[in-house]
Structure formats: C-alpha cells, structure tokens
C-alpha cells in the first residue's frame, strides 16, 4: 500500500518536502503564531492519538486554523504531519506552490475526483493524520454546526478496506471573531468518534454527534479565550 500512496501522492501533490516543511514550522509556529497571539491555549491533548489512522475534524473560523492545527497536533507533538484536504482553489498560485510541498492535496467539493478520494483512503490505510474541515468553508459565527457529507463517506470507504478510523472533533476559537494582533487563540480536542456501520441511519447519527461534539469543543475554546 505504501507504493500506491507514493504513486497517488506524485499525481496530486509533492508530499511533505524535507526542506520546506521544517522551514514552514519555524516560520509559522516559532515566529508568526508566537508573535501574533499573546497566548495559544491547547485543551484536550489527551484525546489526540499519536499513532494509527485518524481524521481530525476541526471547526473553521479563520485562515489561522490551518496554522493552529499543526502547532497543536503536528510533527512536534505527535511525530507526524497534518495532511490537509483543501479546496482546488486553495491549491492555485503561490499559495498552492507551498501547500503542495507541505503535504496538502486538493479536493473538488462539487465533484470529488476518484484520485483524491483514493489518496485520502491511502493516507488512512498508512496510519496518517488526515485533516478535513467538515463544514466545507469558513464560518465566523458561533452557531449550530452543519456538516458536509464527505467526511463520513471517506471513513466508510476506509472501513470497507478494513481500516477503522477514529474521528477527533476539534473546536478552534479566537478572542475576536476576526483574529487580531496580541489576541488569544485556543484549540480544543474532543473524544474520538467512530462510525459503527455504513447504513443511512448510522451515517446520519454520526454526523449529528460529530457536529454536537465539534460545537462543544468550540464552546470550550471560546470560554478559554474569554468570549463565553
């Protein structure tokens, strides 16, 4: 399976570059995050697995989310990288050039390609840490969460290959809705959630429970930064 992963990775992105990835950690974690936010709070670290396949399912409130996740769950913490599934538009231009070298790969939300889906499954089969924003886009308001169906389908596809994949609900919050200089940031990991089977009722219950746990994790993060 490792060879299949490498072949699909070559067709979609450039993997985790041994030069750009460590440099990105220094720039984003040691310089940018530490100087922009006066405090970075991590809650529920005990729920974050350090081995085996896992899908991280965070709320999405700002572009800073993509920097907060590697800080709290990336190589320095778990020994493995965050493999982000991102939209096709985010993989374009100069930003896309860097994302391709940091292990990110594209997905067309309206018409997902078979190659992208198979690559995501290969990552899970190979015990990688996959990041999917299940809301599908940035939402500024703290309100009941509505999820896209893609994450549950990915987990089901992996389970058909014999791989049980826990999903970690995550809430991310900032002291202001639009993060500001010298504000606070917080990320909260919740207890893992498993999709028991593939029937329609189980999938609906899974999505409802995941949205509830993401909302609860976000609530904890908001309390930590003083917004609740």
Cα angle 209-44-181, degrees, rounded to a multiple of 5:
105
The pLDDT > 90 percentage for the chain reads 75
Domain boundaries, given as residue ranges, for the chain: 2-224
pLDDT confidence of residue 69: 97
2-224 CATH fold: Glycerol-3-phosphate (1)-acyltransferase (3.40.1130)
Is the predicted pLDDT of residue 11 greater than 80, yes or no? no
pLDDT of 51-93, one tens digit each?
999 999 999 999 999 999 999 999 999 999 999 999 888 888 8
Q: At what angle do helices 150-160 and 200-224 cross, to 10 degrees?
A: 120
pLDDT confidence of residue 94: 86
- Of the ranges 125-129, 140-144, 179-183, 212-216, which one carries the lowest mean pLDDT score? 140-144
d(CA 24, CA 13): 17
pLDDT of 148-161, one tens digit each?
888 999 999 999 99
Is the predicted pLDDT of residue 8 greater than 80, yes or no? no
69 and 56 Cβ atoms separated by less than 8 Å: yes
pLDDT confidence of residue 112: 83
What b/e readout covers 150-175, taking b as 16+ CB neighbours within 10 angstroms? bbbebbbbbbeeebebbbbbbbbbbb
pLDDT confidence of residue 2: 61
Q: Largest Cα–Cα distance of the chain, in whole Å?
A: 48
Mean pLDDT computed over 179-198: 95
d(CA 208, CA 215): 11
pLDDT confidence of residue 3: 63
């Amino acid at each position: 399976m490792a060879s299949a992963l490498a072949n699909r990775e070559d067709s979609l992105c450039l993997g985790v570059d041994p030069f750009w990835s460590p440099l990105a950690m220094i720039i984003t974690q040691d310089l940018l995050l530490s100087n922009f936010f006066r405090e970075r709070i991590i809650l529920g670290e005990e729920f974050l697995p350090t081995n085996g396949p896992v899908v991280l399912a965070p709320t999405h409130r700002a572009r800073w989310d993509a920097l907060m996740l590697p800080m709290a769950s990336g190589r320095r913490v778990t020994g493995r990288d965050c493999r982000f599934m991102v939209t096709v538009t985010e993989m374009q231009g100069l930003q896309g050039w860097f994302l391709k070298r940091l292990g990110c790969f594209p997905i067309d939300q309206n018409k997902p390609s078979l190659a992208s889906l198979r690559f995501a499954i290969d990552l899970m089969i190979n015990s990688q840490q996959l990041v999917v924003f299940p809301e599908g886009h940035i939402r500024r308001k703290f309100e009941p969460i509505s999820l896209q169906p893609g994450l549950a389908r990915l987990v089901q596809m992996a389970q058909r290959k014999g791989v049980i994949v826990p999903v970690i609900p995550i809430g991310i919050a900032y002291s202001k809705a639009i993060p500001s200089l010298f504000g606070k940031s917080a990320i909260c990991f919740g207890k893992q959630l498993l999709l028991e089977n593939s029937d329609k009722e189980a999938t609906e219950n899974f999505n409802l429970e995941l949205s509830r746990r993401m909302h609860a994790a976000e609530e904890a993060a908001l309390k930590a930064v003083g917004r609740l």
